[in-house]
Amino acid sequence: AQSVAQPEDQVNVAEGNPLTVKCTYSVSGNPYLFWYVQYPNRGLQFLLKYITGDNLVKGSYGFEAEFNKSQTSFHLKKPSALVSDSALYFCAVRDFNQAGTALIFGKGTTLSVSS
């Protein structure tokens, strides 16, 4: 079965420091991977995706993610964290096990950036 795992429930980082939010996946075939962010009382906002090509993907708000096929990982990164980056982050993989194109989400990682 296809799945994604976010091994950390919470990540704490100081403002100005680099941040990494981890994601590993398990799929048969080539994965389509996505990162979304959810702010309190808001919907999910798309950050970036990996479909094919360059393993380093750049997205919104200065975020980037590195696709690593050998480690089946798709970690989200940012060189310098902002307090406003504090939110809930979801990694997701496209579910190709059925006719549709729904996403399978990880459980989410809460990022807390302190000033």
Local structure of residue 59 (DSSP, 8 states) = -
Q: Which of 69, 26, 80, 75 is nearest to 47 (CA)?
A: 75
Q: Which of 7, 10, 16, 51 binds other proteins (CB under 8 A)?
A: 51
Q: Report d(CA 62, CA 59) in Å as an integer.
A: 6
Burial of 8-21, coded b for 16+ CB within 10 Å and e otherwise, reads: beebebeeeeebeb
Is 81 or 87 the residue whose CB approaches other proteins more closely? 87
In this chain, which of 25, 36, 63, 89 binds other proteins, going by CB under 8 A? Answer: 36
Please report whether residue 108 would count as binding other proteins according to CB under 8 A.
yes
Radius of gyration for the chain, computed over Cα atoms and rounded to the nearest angstrom: 14
- The yes or no reply on residue 99 touching other proteins (CB under 8 A) is yes
From the CB of 82, what's the least distance to other proteins, in Å? 21
Residue closer to other proteins (CB basis): 42 or 58: 42
Summarize as ranges the residues that interact with other proteins (CB under 8 A): 32, 34, 36, 41-46, 49, 51, 90, 94-96, 98-108
